[in-house]
Amino acid sequence: MAKRATNPSTRQTSTATIHDQTLLRGEGGELHQIAEGDVPVLTTAQGGPVADDQNTLRVGPRGPLVVDDFHFREKVFHFDHERIPERVVHARGYGAHGFFETYESLAAYTKADIFQRPGEKTPTFVRFSTVAGNKGSADLARDVRGFAVKFYTRQGNWDLVGNNIPVFFIQDAIKFPDLIHAAKQDPDRDFPQAQTAHDTFWDFISLTPESMNMVMWIMSDRTIPRSFRFMEGFGVHTFRLVNDKGESTFVKFHWKPKLGLQSVAWNEAVKINGADPDFHRRDLWHAIQGGDFPEWELQVQLFDQEFADRFDFDVLDPTKIIPEEILPPKPIGRLVLDRMPDNFFAETEQVAFMTQNVPPGIDFSNDPLLQGRNFSYLDTQLKRLGSPNFTHLPINAPKCPFAHFQQDGHMAMHNPVGRVNYEPNSFGEGPRESPTRGFRPFAAEEHGIKARLRPESFADHYSQARQFYISQTPPEQRHIAAALTFELSKVETPAIRERTVAHLLNIDETLATTVGQKLGFKAMPKPADAAVPTRQDLEPSPALSIVERGPKRFEGRKLGILVTDGVDPTLLQGLTAAITKEKAVFELIAPKVGGVTAADGTWIKAQHMIDGGPSVLFDAVAVLTSAAAIDDLLQEATARDFVADAFQHCKFIGYDASALALLEKAGVADALDEGVVALPGEDGLEAFVAKLGKLRVWGREPSVKLGKA
């Protein structure tokens, strides 16, 4: 039976005398008033049974409404208040429940309970998000992705509120409102939405050289991930681990996706936003509901003051990384997401992450961005959730025992019981502080003058930006140049374009020249003044490339198979069996809604009609058709796009003999390469599926770009 109200207080009052109703006890022990059949009676929020939910109370059939229609008044009142303010940043997000499993004891580094016992599982809730767009914006906006993890530890909640990029735009939190104002819609016109391709963003960026490392990251394919499941996460800042002797070790947190990294192409992102604006949330939903639980490994870079002192950059500067080749991360546990929320609003919308939520054994560094964040997140929750009692919401409440004397306020649900609501008290009632078990901040010695300062050690803004760029594979470098060109092409003020390219000259001359030429510059600007000259001696870090960290297999990915009437059922079954064996999934696309009739007369159900299933929704495609159906298929513009797009997005394409005509019609038949595979092929279908693990034939890209295909 459907459960209506979950508020425990509803259950208590429902036992009151109810006339003329049958009572039925629900799964949770609650009592429902039962109408005819097994359906609970619709009630008001006060529990009053409703007789007519179709018509307002009025005088005569064509007369006015009367004010004593309390049911209508309550219903519309509640509806009018359904929305809460969306997050000022990271408004669009999607969350899931799961657990974190510790690999081994980290007692030598931290007394945090979560890291003491191998195999210990801690419940978690994760919310992924885009930063700039509003709540209803499209998933494939070019944007940083939030990666916020709430661990419900036995010592209270620990929130690791990170991003899918390990550096940030600014070094000091005081610049955050300016950054976000510049990135979001212009205040006079309220567009453009969910994109940085506009004057105000690049104006701010071009006047903020500290953002240059982040600019390389956001112009890379990191900001157009294929799925939340295939992206990294980072705590960004340097934090501290503190052990039971009070000793501190610096730490940077990294999440590594088990299935490898993967992004889409920009042209693909643009089309996905139209074809399926919910692409990322749908992907997570289907993976979890299908039992293919996404998994990340938590890895840590651990270092001491001595390492920090000799490292090339300041470890407190959030615009810098410590390359993994210099300090290899240590795996310490895994995160598995295995359950979708029961209700999006109650959980994903109301979840309140706060960087200042740390358990004993985890502490902050003096990173000025982190310290500013610790200030901001509490305020924002009060604004959004409307009451200091937001910790009473189940998604935010600790799952460990808790006891304090905070009371009252809007929607208070857990007030202290008894007479004593203060401490110390001589009644011996209530909780007491515990110097041994409580949080004690690391006893760092601090000194200096009080002033608004930026350290000299934060002054090199270009060297790591260059290091990121030279660590990319050639296709990834091309994408950075193309992204910069696209974004700056939308900037209307020539001086902003020039200032940006002037910074690029300090990063990589070829990159700057490519972008300058594409923007039609008659002459290149002078390189921007740099407080510290760009270091040319930093080694490339292959760990920064998505292509280098791609998957080994097609596992977890999706093949789109375009089928028509007359399809060879044996070939189709062979292909789908090989995909399933690979732990990948497939969807069928047909010219008409519903499906197709195979050559042996069997009906094959398809998930998409061709207009609704473009190839951008899939990691690879196949076209299986028949001599009888191919002529009709050739007439379909969407079928031609299906192949042409897959080809220009450098995807693998499998095709059977009849489908060759479609490749010709799509204009790609003269440029076939190793990524376009005749099926079943000499090596068989499993060999085709094995190839798919490479995901893209990047070698094809330059020719596609030049229009030679």
Pick between residue 364 and residue 642 the one whose CB is nearest to ligand HDD.
364
Q: How far apart are CA 99 and CA 285, in angstroms?
A: 17
At 494, give phi and psi (nearest 5°): -55, -35
Pick between residue 209 and residue 235 the one whose CB is nearest to ligand HDD.
235
Amino acid at 75: K
Q: Please pick, from the candidates 18, 34, 88, 530, the single residue that binds ligand HDD as defined by CB under 6 A.
A: 88
Q: Please pick, from the candidates 168, 230, 390, 618, the single residue that binds ligand HDD as defined by CB under 6 A.
A: 168
Examine residue 158 and tell whether it contacts ligand HDD (CB under 6 A): no
Compute the least distance from the CB of residue 383 to ligand HDD, in Å: 9
Binders of ligand HDD among residues 234 to 263 (CB under 6 A) are 236
Binders of ligand HDD among residues 93 to 132 (CB under 6 A) are 93, 127, 129
- φ/ψ region of 64 (left if φ > 0, alpha if ψ in -120 to 50, else beta) reads beta
End-to-end CA distance of the chain: 59
C-beta nearest to ligand HDD: residue: 146
- Would you say 655 and 677 are in contact if contact means Cβ atoms under 8 Å apart? yes
Residue 334 among known ligand-binding residues: no
Q: Tokens in use for 383? A: 């604004």
Q: Please pick, from the candidates 215, 242, 315, 369, the single residue that binds ligand HDD as defined by CB under 6 A.
A: 369
Long-range contacts from 485-490, C-beta under 8 angstroms, 24+ separation: 485/514, 485/515, 485/518, 485/519, 486/197, 486/266, 487/196, 487/197, 487/202, 487/219, 488/202, 488/515, 488/519, 489/197, 489/518, 489/519, 490/192, 490/197, 490/198
Compute the least distance from the CB of residue 352 to ligand HDD, in Å: 6
Distances (CA, A) of 607 to 561, 596, 612, 613: 10, 11, 9, 8
Residue 152 among known ligand-binding residues: no
Is 163 among the catalytic positions?
A: yes
Binders of ligand HDD among residues 329 to 368 (CB under 6 A) are 351, 353
Q: What does the buried/exposed string (b/e) look like for 215-242 if buried means 16 or more CB atoms within 10 Å of the residue's CB?
A: bbbbbbbbbbbbbbbbbbbbbbbbbbbb
Examine residue 222 and tell whether it contacts ligand HDD (CB under 6 A): no
At 209, give phi and psi (nearest 5°): -60, -25
Beta bridge partners of 587: 560
**Cα torsion at 320, 323, 329, 333 (round to 10°)?**
50
> Of 63-71, 82-90, 264-272, 309-317, which part binds ligand HDD (CB under 6 A)?
82-90
> Which residue among the candidates 71, 90, 237, 649 is catalytic per the annotation?
90
Q: Please pick, from the candidates 103, 285, 311, 377, the single residue that binds ligand HDD as defined by CB under 6 A.
A: 377
Q: How far apart are CA 121 and CA 154, in angstroms?
A: 11
Examine residue 146 and tell whether it contacts ligand HDD (CB under 6 A): yes
- DSSP 3-state of 559: strand
* Total residues at interface with ligand HDD (CB under 6 A): 25
Pick between residue 375 and residue 405 the one whose CB is nearest to ligand HDD.
375
Task: Say if residue 660 is exposed, middle or buried (CB neighbours under 10 Å; 0-12, 13-18, 19+).
Answer: middle
Compute the least distance from the CB of residue 141 to ligand HDD, in Å: 15
Examine residue 376 and tell whether it contacts ligand HDD (CB under 6 A): yes
Compute the least distance from the CB of residue 170 to ligand HDD, in Å: 7
Examine residue 87 and tell whether it contacts ligand HDD (CB under 6 A): yes
Q: Please pick, from the candidates 43, 193, 380, 387, the single residue that binds ligand HDD as defined by CB under 6 A.
A: 380
Q: Tokens in use for 121? A: 């599982």
Pick between residue 41 and residue 96 the one whose CB is nearest to ligand HDD.
96
Q: How many other β-carbons are positioned within 10 Å of the β-carbon of residue 449?
A: 5
- Would you say 208 and 170 are in contact if contact means Cβ atoms under 8 Å apart? yes
Binding mask 275-304 for ligand HDD (x = CB under 6 A): ------------------------------
Q: How many residues does the chain have?
A: 709
> Which residue among the candidates 32, 71, 157, 163 is catalytic per the annotation?
163
Compute the least distance from the CB of residue 651 to ligand HDD, in Å: 31
- Which residues of the shown chain bind ligand HDD in the complex (CB under 6 A)? 87-90, 93, 127, 129, 146, 148, 161-163, 168, 173, 176, 236, 318, 351, 353, 369, 372-373, 376-377, 380
Residues known to be catalytic: 90, 163
Which parts are annotated binding residues? 87, 127, 176, 373, 377, 384
